[in-house]
Structure 1
Amino acid sequence: MSSFGGLNTAYSGLNAARLALEVTGQNVANANTEGYTRQRITQVPVTQSALATYATQNSVGDGVQVTGVARVNDSLVDARVNSTASSASYWSTAADAASAVETATGEPGTTGLSSVLNKFWAAWQTMANNVGSSTSASSGAASALIAQGALVASTVSAGYQSAASSWSDARSAAASQVSTINDAAAKIADLNTQIRSLTASGGNVNSLLDQRDAAVTTLAGLTGASTRDNADGTVDVVVGGNTLVSGVTSRAVELGGSPAFPPSTSDPVQLRWADTHTAVSLDGGEMAARMASLQPSDGTGTGGVYAEAAVAYDTVAQAVADQVNAITATGTSSTGATGTAAAPLNFFSYSSTGSPALTLAVVPTSAAGIATADGTKGNYDTSIADRVSQIGTSQGAPDTTWSGYVARIGSQSATAASRASSATTAATAATTAQTSVGGVDLDEETSNLVIYQHAYQASARVISTINDVLDTLINMGAQ
C-alpha cells in the first residue's frame, strides 16, 4: 500500500465513521418517536482495485465503503405483530359487545328481570291472599300487582331499547372505521409510489417504510390484512384473499345494509367493496367482530349479540303475557266482573305486529279488571290468582327462558373476555419482540457513539501519521 493509497484508505474510514455517527444521532433523536425503527450503516471492505501485472502487489485493500443505511427489523416479527394485532382487536371488540349486553341485563341483581319476575309472581300470590278481605286491602294488593306488572313491562322494554341503542352505536363506529380503512389504504398506495421512486433513484426510504408499516398494522388491526412484497419495493395489502392495495393503487370499501333495528335478514349490515358492492371477506380484526355483532338473529341463539338480546326480551315479554292471559282471560275479578271470549280479562297486552317487549302493557287499572277466581267457587275463590302465581316455577316458564339466555350471554361474554386476554398477551409479546429488534436503546446508542468516535479519531490519526511520514520523505529529498 502506497502512502497516498493509505491516505485514501484512512479517508474512507473517516467517512464511514462520520456517517455512522450521523445515523446514531438520528436514532437518538427518534428514541421516543412512535413507529420509528432504528438504523445502522451497512459497509463492506474495498479490495485492491487492480491486479498485479509485472510485480506482486501487497495491497491489503483500499479501505471501507458504506453501502447504505439499513433498518434493523425482522420481517417475521413484523408479520407476527400484524397477525396478533388482528386477533387481539377481534376478541377485544367481541368481548366489549358481549359484556355490554350482559351488563345491561342487570343479572344477578335486584334490578334484573329475574328479580322483577319473582316479585311479580309474589304480587299475584299476595292478591290471592287478599281476595275476600276488606276492600281497602284488596284494592292495595291490586295496585301493587298492577305496579309490578308495569315494572315487568318497563324492564323488558328498557332491555330491548338498550340492545337497539348499542346496535346503533356499533354501526356508527363501523361507519367511522370504514373511513379509517380507506384512508390507510390510500396512504399505503401513496407511500408505495414514493418508495418506488426514491428507491429507483438511490434515496433513503427508511422513514417511508416506517410510515407504511404503521399503516399496515392499522389495517391488520381493523381488517386482518396481510401483505406481500413486490420486487420494486412496493407491497400489496390483501384482505380476505382480495387485494385492497395493489402497488400504487388502492380500492375503497363501504358499509352497506339496512340502518334500522332489528337488523334485516334480507339486507344485513356488511362491509362491501365500493366498486363491486360485494361483501368483503374478513379474516379477523375489529371490523370482523363489529360485523358479527351487527348481524340479525339466526334462530339458534348464535346470531348478532344485540339482535339475540332483543329476541330474548321479546320472547320473555310474549311468554309472560300469553301465559298470564291464558289463565286470567275467562276468570272473574274480586268485584264480580267476568271475562268472556269476546272481552277477556287479559292482564297484559302487546302488539301482534311490533316488538312485544316495546309494546307490553298492563291492561287493568284497578281490582275490577284483575281476574282472581274462576267464577264457580264463591266469593273467596283464589284459584286464578294462585295459578298465575305458580307460573314462575312451572315447566316452560318465562323465568326459565330468561335464565337460559342469561346463562348463554354470560358464557359468551366470559369466553370472549378470556380469548381477548390471551390474544392481547400474544400481541403484547409480539410488540415487545419487535421493539427489542427495532427499538432504540439509548444505552446501546451511547456505546455506539463512543465506538464511532474512536473509529473517527483513529482514522484521523492514520492520516496524521501518513502526513508526517510524507513530510519526512519530502524533507529528506530536499536535502
Structure 2
Amino acid sequence: MSTFHGLETARRAINTQQSAIHTTGHNIANANTAGYSRQRVNFTQTEAFPSPGFNQPHMAGQVGTGVKAGEIERIRESFLDLQYRQENNKHGYWSARHTAFEKIEDIMNEPTEDGIAQTMDRFWQSLQDLSVYPEDSGARSVVRQNGIALAETFNYTASALESVQRDYQNQLGVENSRVNSLLEQINNVNKQIASVEPHGYLTNDLYDVRDKLVDELSEYVNISVEQVSSGGLAKENAGGRYTIKLLDHNGSDMGVTLVNGRSLEATKFDLSYDEETGLIDGVLVGNETFDPDAFHSYGKLKGSIETFGYMSGGEERGLIPEMVQSLDQMVYTFTEAFNDVHENGRSLYEMANEEAAISFFDFAGGANEVKGAAKGIKVADDILNDLDKIAAATVTAGEAFSGDGSNALALANVKDNTLNFGGTTTNVQSFYQGVIGAMAVSTNEAERMSRNTNELRESVDDRRQSVSGVSLDEEMTNLIKFQHAYNAAARNMTTIDEMLDRIINGMGVVGR
C-alpha cells in the first residue's frame, strides 16, 4: 500500500463533501422556485484495496480507499406526480364549468328586482291594473312601459350571453395556443435531455422544468406520461424522454400521441368552426379529428368547449347555446300566446276605426321564428305610437265597450296558461323557474366538484412537496453535517501530512 494512500482518501472526502455543500447551497437558493425538486449527492464508497487478482499483495484484508460522489439526483416520487395530474385534470374541467355557470348566473340575475321574473311580474300587475281602469291613459302607459322593459330585459340577457360566448371564443383560442406551446416546450426539453443523458449525467433542473410543463398541460387535457430511455451511457435512474398520450375521462388511450419521446416530435391541437352557427364542429389533434361530443378528454379545454358551444348531430349544444335556446323558446311561445289574446280583444282605436287585429309584441326585422326571439323581441310599433291600440276589451256578440277591461285581465292571465314550450308543457313562469332551477343545480354541482377536486389536488401537492420540496431547516442541518465532515477530512489530511513529514524529514538522520 502506498505511503500516500491516506492523502488520497482525505482528498476524496474533501471533494465529495464539497460537492454535497454545493448541492445543499443549490437547494437553499431554489427554496422558493416553483416546481423545483430538492437534490442530493449519493455518496458511494470507492473500490477497496487491493482488488482481487493473481498478483494481489498479501494483506490482512482489504483497506477502504474513501468516498466519491456517485451522482446528484433529485428527490421525486412519480406516483404522486401521477395522482396530482389526475386531480389537476379534473379540477381544470370542473373549475371551468363553475366559472362559466357563475358568469351565466350574473347575467340571468335571479332572483333580483331587475331580473326577468320580477320584470314579468310587474308587467302582469300593470295589466291587472288596466283591467280595472281600461280607459285610463296612465294605466295604458304603464302597461306599455312595462312591456318595453320586459322586451329590453330579454334583449339584454340574450345579448349579454352572446357577449360572454364571444369572450369564450377568444379564450378558446388562447387555451388552444397555450396547449400547443406546452407541447412544443416539452418536446424541446426532451431534445435537451436526450443530448445530455447519453453521457451519463442526470439533468435534474431540466427534469423539473419538464415536469412543471406537464403539470400545467394536465390542467387542459387528460394525459399519460411514459419514460423512454435516451440510450448511450444513460444511468438507470435517468428521467429519460417523455412520451405523452391523450386519454379520455376514463383514463383510456384515445390513440393520439401528443409528444413522441422516440422521434422527438410534438403534435398540435386545432379547433374547426361551423360556418353557419359559428360553433365548434371538430377538434383536430395531429392527424385525428374528433367530433366535439366525442372528445372526452376532460380538462379546462373541454370545459371551455362545452361552455362556448358545439355542433352535435346537427344540433347546437353547450351551456350558453342551450341557455339562449331556452330563452328563445320561452319568449317565442309567450309572445305567440300573448299576441293571440291581444289580437282577439278590442282596443279603443279599433272601436273607433276599422282596423285589422293588432299585435302587442313584434320581432326586430319581422323575423317570426324561435331562434333569435329573445334578442329580437320588442313592443310593436302600433303600441309604441298609440296607447289606444292596447286591446283591453273583449268582443262579445260582435260588440266591445270602452269601459270593459276583461281582455286586459285575460292578457294578465297568460302567465297561468298552459303552453307548449318546444315539447315541455307548462306555464311561462314555471318554465322559466325550471330553467333557473336547473342552472342552480348545475352550478352547485360544478362548485362542489371544483372545491372537492381542488382540495384533493392540494392534498396530493402537499404530500408531493413533503417529498420533493426544500426544507430550509433540513438543508441547514445538512450544511452543518457536511461542513463538519469537510473539516474532519481536512484535519485528517493535516495529520497524514505530519506523518509524512516525520518520515521524509525526520528518518535517516541518526548519527549525522
TM-score, scaled to structure 2: 0.86
Deviates more, 1:383-392 or 1:277-286: 277-286
Opposite residue 476 of structure 1, the aligned amino acid is: M
Give 1 or 2: higher strand fraction: 2
**Identity of matched residues, %:** 25
Secondary structure of 1:329's counterpart equals helix
Q: Distance in 2 between matches of 1:279 and 1:470?
A: 81
C-alpha distance after superposition, 1:179-213 (max 9, x if no partner): 11111111111111110110112334111111111
Match of 1:294 among 284, 296, 308: 308
Q: 1:225-304, aligned counterparts within 5 Å?
A: 225-232=223-230, 233-240=240-247, 241=253, 242-247=256-261, 248-258=264-274, 264=279, 268-278=280-290, 281-296=295-310, 303-304=317-318
Match of 2:119 among 116, 120, 133: 116
Q: Distance in 1 between matches of 2:244 and 2:483?
A: 42
1:411 and 1:259, CA in 2 relative to 1: closer, same or farther beyond 3 A?
farther
Once the 2 structures are TM-superposed, how far is the Cα of residue 91 of structure 1 from its aligned partner? 0.9
Once the 2 structures are TM-superposed, how far is the Cα of residue 162 of structure 1 from its aligned partner? 1.2
Contact kept, 8 Å, 1:331 with 1:338, in 2: the verdict is no
1:177: which partner in 2? Answer: 175
Match of 2:189 among 188, 191, 216: 191
Secondary structure of 2:70's counterpart equals strand
Contact kept, 8 Å, 1:94 with 1:289, in 2: the verdict is yes
Opposite residue 345 of structure 1, the aligned amino acid is: I
2:507: which partner in 1? Answer: 476
Match of 2:362 among 341, 345, 349: 349
1:303 and 1:411, CA in 2 relative to 1: closer, same or farther beyond 3 A?
farther
Opposite residue 104 of structure 1, the aligned amino acid is: I
1:434 aligns with 2:464: yes
1:373 and 1:297, CA in 2 relative to 1: closer, same or farther beyond 3 A?
farther
Q: 1:189-228, aligned counterparts within 5 Å?
A: 189-228=187-226
1:369 aligns with 2:389: yes
Once the 2 structures are TM-superposed, how far is the Cα of residue 33 of structure 1 from its aligned partner? 1.7
- The alignment of Structure 1 onto Structure 2 pairs a total of residues equal to 468
Opposite residue 11 of structure 1, the aligned amino acid is: R
C-alpha distance after superposition, 1:315-353 (max 9, x if no partner): 12112211111211121113443899x932211122224
Contact kept, 8 Å, 2:310 with 2:316, in 1: the verdict is no
Opposite residue 332 of structure 1, the aligned amino acid is: R
Opposite residue 36 of structure 1, the aligned amino acid is: Y
1:460: which partner in 2? Answer: 490
1:135: which partner in 2? Answer: none
Deviates more, 1:248-257 or 1:109-118: 248-257
- The CA RMSD over aligned residues, in Å, is 2.4
Q: 1:116-195, aligned counterparts within 5 Å?
A: 116-132=119-135, 138-195=136-193
Q: 1:322-401, aligned counterparts within 5 Å?
A: 322-337=336-351, 343-350=356-363, 351-353=367-369, 354-363=371-380, 364-365=383-384, 366-376=386-396, 378-395=401-418, 396-401=426-431
2:451: which partner in 1? Answer: 421
1:469 and 1:58, CA in 2 relative to 1: closer, same or farther beyond 3 A?
farther
Contact kept, 8 Å, 1:296 with 1:308, in 2: the verdict is no
1:305: which partner in 2? Answer: 319
C-alpha distance after superposition, 1:348-394 (max 9, x if no partner): 12222451111111121333211112222644322211111112234
Contact kept, 8 Å, 1:263 with 1:294, in 2: the verdict is no
Once the 2 structures are TM-superposed, how far is the Cα of residue 302 of structure 1 from its aligned partner? 11
C-alpha distance after superposition, 1:33-68 (max 9, x if no partner): 222111101121123241274624423322112111
1:103: which partner in 2? Answer: 106
- Structure 2: tracts of 5 or more residues without a match: 231-239, 248-252, 419-425
Contact kept, 8 Å, 1:23 with 1:40, in 2: the verdict is yes
Q: Distance in 1 between matches of 2:146 and 2:339?
A: 16
1:11: which partner in 2? Answer: 11
Q: Distance in 2 between matches of 1:302 and 1:419?
A: 26
Contact kept, 8 Å, 2:128 with 2:412, in 1: the verdict is yes
Once the 2 structures are TM-superposed, how far is the Cα of residue 296 of structure 1 from its aligned partner? 4.5
Contact kept, 8 Å, 2:309 with 2:316, in 1: the verdict is no
1:446 and 1:375, CA in 2 relative to 1: closer, same or farther beyond 3 A?
same
Contact kept, 8 Å, 2:274 with 2:311, in 1: the verdict is no
Q: Distance in 2 between matches of 1:297 and 1:207?
A: 44
Q: 1:37-76, aligned counterparts within 5 Å?
A: 37-49=37-49, 50-51=51-52, 53=56, 55-76=58-79
Secondary structure of 1:390's counterpart equals helix
C-alpha distance after superposition, 1:108-157 (max 9, x if no partner): 0111101011111111111111125xxxxx21111111111111111111
TM-score, scaled to structure 1: 0.92
Q: Distance in 2 between matches of 1:270 and 1:453?
A: 61
2:89: which partner in 1? Answer: 86
- Structure 1: tracts of 5 or more residues without a match: 133-137
